[in-house]
A and B are shown apart, each in its own frame.
Chain A
Amino acid sequence: MPSYTIEELIQLKPSETLSVNFDAVEFNAIIEKVKQVQALKEEEYNATHHGHFNRRRSSHLHHGKPKVKQHKPKVTTDENGWSTFEPKTNEEGDSENNSDSATTPFTPTISKETVKVKPNNRHISSSRPADNSDIITDKQVHGFNTFAALVSDDEDDE
């Protein structure tokens, strides 16, 4: 069995380039073309990702929390330069009922806050609300009325 050491084989290396029995030009051309395609793809990738290689995909699409816009309180300025703050009223004539609020039961009111929600189609089949109107309907508007609770307790005790 013929065997050659690494050193022996290196000694047998010809100093001039020999011809081969396959199309070396074509082989080299294929490799060069692959390198060009890879370079183009990398350039494209860098352009689209702006150099952020290690940024992971976000687990949400940035509408986790609906935007709630609070209306600004109305302030009017008279001729003398005095500004008057007008507290917001829930309903017309609400101020009249304030005097006997202790005796009348608590009535639920609809908030005038603007709730801006983008429906998320990913959760359309889940229990999460997908429609703006659903969110408003589901919004809890009943507050705990301490006075009403005390009254009912007294009645029970009797």
Chain B
Amino acid sequence: MSVEEVSQKLENVTVNDDAPKTVLSDNKEFEVKHPLNTKWTLWYTKPAVDKSESWSDLLRPVTTFESVEEFWAIIQNIPEPHELPLKSDYHVFRNDIRPEWEDQANSKGGKWSFQLKGRGSDIDELWLRTLLAVIGETIDEDDSQINGVVLSIRKGGNKFALWTKSEDKEPLTKIGAKFKTVLKLTEDGLLEFYPHSAANDRHAQPSITL
């Protein structure tokens, strides 16, 4: 087929203008959004700069999102993890669950925890991968065990925590194995599960280790 023939064929192609615009066909004025399984809320813990500030003053919901497009819009407009000040936390929790172990949805659960030693540049990528696996619901295909995910920016090493609604070993082991893949952990990388019931014990041992 010659170039002229291809050009002629392209001219004959008619674009169906009635089809709804997606984020792929129109970046700005798209109509169709890709819905997520549930609504999610982004929370931020501001580091204390004044002794008078209490925990309730520091932990605040930032915004909510229910679609993939809304999620990307938020990610584009907030600082990346490496830009956050020390002692900051990002929390992304399902619906209206508060990122506190006292919340009814969290009280009988726990968290898969991993500490990334050093201030590596891959924290941004790993946090994004964790978020995508959680909101895309691929980290927990069987049931919605996941309540939320937390990133803590700390001097000794940034922490990732995947909060679950129960302490059941079987489903949690599956989730833990997937979480390890998401975080690109090798055999040496240690993932630990701590029940929230032991949250007050500073020397608590993990109930599951992967």
Contacts and interface: CB of A to CB of B under 8 A. Distances in A.
Interface of A: 1-6, 8-10, 12-22, 24, 27-28, 30-31, 34-35, 37-38
B129 A6 contact: yes
Contacts of B28: 16, 18
A12 B79 contact: no
Contacts of A3: 37, 136-138, 141
Given A18-B69, A31-B84, A9 B137 contact: no
A10 B47 CA distance: 31
A5 B139 CA distance: 9
B76 to A, nearest CB: 5
Interface string B74-105: 10111100011110100000000000000000
* Interface range on chain B (Cβ under 8 Å from partner): 35 or more
A12 B69 contact: yes
Contact of A15 (B27, B37, B44, B85): B27
B78 A34 contact: no
A16 B27 contact: yes
- Among the interface residues B37, B72, B77, which one has the most CB atoms of the partner chain A within 10 A? B77
Contacts of B46: 30-31, 34
Interface of B: 23-24, 27-28, 34-37, 44, 46-47, 49, 62-63, 68-74, 76-79, 83-86, 88, 129, 132-133, 135-138, 141, 182
7 cross-chain pairs, A with B, having the tightest CB-CB distances, nearest first: A18-B73, A24-B77, A4-B136, A22-B63, A3-B137, A6-B132, A37-B49
Contacts of B78: 24, 27-28
A30 B63 CA distance: 15
Given A3-B37, A12-B23, 14 more contacts: A3-B141, A4-B68, A6-B129, A16-B28, A17-B76, A18-B28, A20-B70, A20-B77, A27-B62, A31-B79, A31-B85, A31-B88, A34-B47, A38-B86
A28 B78 CA distance: 7
Nearest to B36: A2
A9 B37 contact: no
Contacts of B44: 27
Contact of B73 (A2, A20, A27, A28): A20
B76 A6 contact: no
A16 B137 CA distance: 25
A87 B71 CA distance: 94
A41 B87 CA distance: 14
A14 B23 contact: yes
A21 B74 CA distance: 9
Nearest to A33: B49
14 contacts: A2-B34, A3-B137, A3-B138, A4-B137, A4-B138, A5-B138, A6-B129, A6-B132, A13-B72, A14-B23, A18-B69, A28-B77, A34-B49, A38-B49
Contacts of A37: 49
A5 B132 CA distance: 8
A2 B132 CA distance: 13
Given A3-B141, A4-B138, A10 B49 contact: no
Contacts of B63: 20-22
